[in-house]
Each structure stands twice: as C-alpha cells, then as structure tokens.
Amino acid sequence: MNILVYSTRNFEKHYLIKANKSKHSITFIKESLSPETVDKAKGYDVISLTPSDDASELTIEKLKEYGINYISLRCTGYDNVNISLASISGIQVANVPAYSPYAIAEFATSLLLAINRKLIISNERINQYNFNIDKLTGFDLNNKTIGIIGTGKIGAVMTKIMNGFGCNILGYDVNINQHLIDNFNMEYVSIKELCEKSDVISLHVPLNQSTKHLIDEKLLNKMKSNIIIINTARGAVINTKDVIKALENNQIAALGMDVYENEDGVFFKDLSDNIPNDEILKKLISMPNVLLCSHHAFLTEEALTNIAETTFYNIDCWSKNKETENQLTI
C-alpha cells in the first residue's frame, strides 16, 4: 500500500514507522486534509487522518476522484468524516476504537485534581516568590458525588478511579454497564438528576447529534454552584458560551477541558506569534477557574503504540483484501 499520512505530529512519527514494520510505503506531511490540500492525496491508495482533518462531503468527492480507496483514522472519533458518502463512494474507513482508556481517564482525573487543589494558581504564585496560601482551599474527593456522563471504556475507567477515591458515583448512558453497578456502586440516573446531585461531572461521550451541546444553559441551571465540570470528550459536547456565562455568574465553580468547541485549525499548532482571533478562546484562557489543555489526554507511550499498531493493522487487512473489524459503516 502507498500511504499518505496527513496531520503528522513529531511525537507520533516514530510509533507509526515502527508499527509499519517496513511493509508499506509511507509519506508524512504536516498539513491537515481539507478541500485545499486534498490534491496531495493523488497517487496514493490510503490516507491516514486525525480529528483535525476535514473529510466532509466536498473532500470525500475529491478523494474518490483521485482513486483513494481507504481512510485509516488514527483516532476513535469520526465526526469529521462523512461515513455515509464514503461508503457510497466505495471508500472504506476504519478507526482505532480503543487505544488507551486509561490515558484519557487518568488525564481527566489530573484536570480535576489540579483545578480542585488550585495547583496551577499555587505554582504561578511560587514562580513570583509568593508563598501565600489564601484562596487555595479545595475539597476532599472522598464521599463526594461524581457524575459520569458516558460509561463506555473511558467512563468505566474513570468510574474505577473515582471509586478508589471513595466517591459516590452516578452514571448516565443509553447503555447500562452492570459490571460498574455490581463492582463500583455505580447508580444510573437521569441526566437531570445527575446534574442536580453531582459535585463533579466528567464527560466521556462521543460527539453526535444527540450529544452536541448536551451541557447547555438548561442543565447548567440545575447544577450546584460549587460543581467542577471536566471535559475530555469532544469540545462541542458542551455549549461553550453557556458554560462561560455560568462561570461568570458563579452558577458553577470551575471547568477543566482538554478539548475546545472551535479547536480545528488552532490546536496542535504553535500560534504564539499569531494569536487566533477567537474571543471565546481568549475568554476561556483568561479565566482563573478554567484549566484548558490542547487535546493531549491521549498522549502516553501506551496509547501512541496502540494507535499506530491498530492503524497499520487496518491497513494490513485492506492490503490482503480483507475487511477489518474496525470498519465504520452507516
């Protein structure tokens, strides 16, 4: 197979080369896939994409025209790919359904601990030789109520971690995980009840029509004023403007995110010399009770290894005219 890897990041290149085992011809480029860069795919059999790539209708049509037969995603989410049009066009698409739920859940826990115990603010003071500890008070996680929205692989690991802290755990999902109920005292409730009772809410759902702006003004109004919201899922799962308003009005206490609703074209880039003209992003960055990271919850050695190996497993299957179980169809 002749493969073009879009959106190549320096940190992943070694893992991809290793997983390829010299089987296929690989070309790495830093540019993201878009209608403006789709012509770079000419002459290749496979393209590999990340969440920052645009494989919408116009792009898929061009890929078909250029003879691309396969799209191998280096991620779990695929809301940036028009799967139905790809299927109609004869382009097979596969993802990495699970690379390391531990990486994401542990990162979500890190965000929670850092926000709750004011670690960033404390460190900033220390850098100024200010050793005052006023306004650094947090709370014990033990015996607090944690709401887990989405109890799939990542949400399940988050449940286990929070259970280890001695938390009471509420869950919301379209699918009930009986193992979590039996072993970690998970109680499934409505999303309304979860929002009303939780001291912390952690989001672990995919982005789709039913989850876009799931956390909005209506649900925010039901939450405790001291609640912390953690989002390591997708940026658009929360309505960012509504959350900022709730933070400004002291309706909620704090927000920790590794994702951002309008992160395309911004995250994974050094824009220190070309600050984005995004007032919502600037507002989030300026708020002392917001901890925003640049979508790197997945960035562990284990996760990068699993992503690379599954990416090339999918490609190996296609090279043998076999379907992979990771194939996406709608």
Which residues of 182-252 form beta strands (DSSP E)?
Answer: 186-188, 200-203, 228-231
Q: Report the distance separating Cα 35 and Cα 28, nearest Å.
A: 18
Which residues of 18-167 form beta strands (DSSP E)?
Answer: 25-28, 46-49, 70-73, 92-94, 145-149
Q: Report the distance separating Cα 319 and Cα 57, nearest Å.
A: 26
Is 61 an annotated catalytic residue? no
| Active-site position among 12, 204, 295, 309 | 295
Half-sphere exposure of 88 (CA within 13 A, CB side): 7
Q: Could you tell me if 238 and 229 are in contact, meaning their C-beta atoms sit under 8 angstroms apart?
A: yes
| Active-site position among 74, 204, 234, 261 | 234
Is 263 an annotated catalytic residue? yes
| Active-site position among 12, 261, 263, 309 | 263
Is 36 an annotated catalytic residue? no
The encoded tokens of residue 78 equal 């695929």
Supply the DSSP symbol for 32: P
Q: Report the distance separating Cα 303 and Cα 263, nearest Å.
A: 21
Cα dihedral value 37, 272, 239, 116, nearest 10: 140
Backbone dihedral angles phi then psi of residue 145, each to the nearest 5 degrees: -100, 120
Q: Could you tell me if 255 and 247 are in contact, meaning their C-beta atoms sit under 8 angstroms apart?
A: yes
Q: Which residues are catalytic?
A: 234, 263, 295
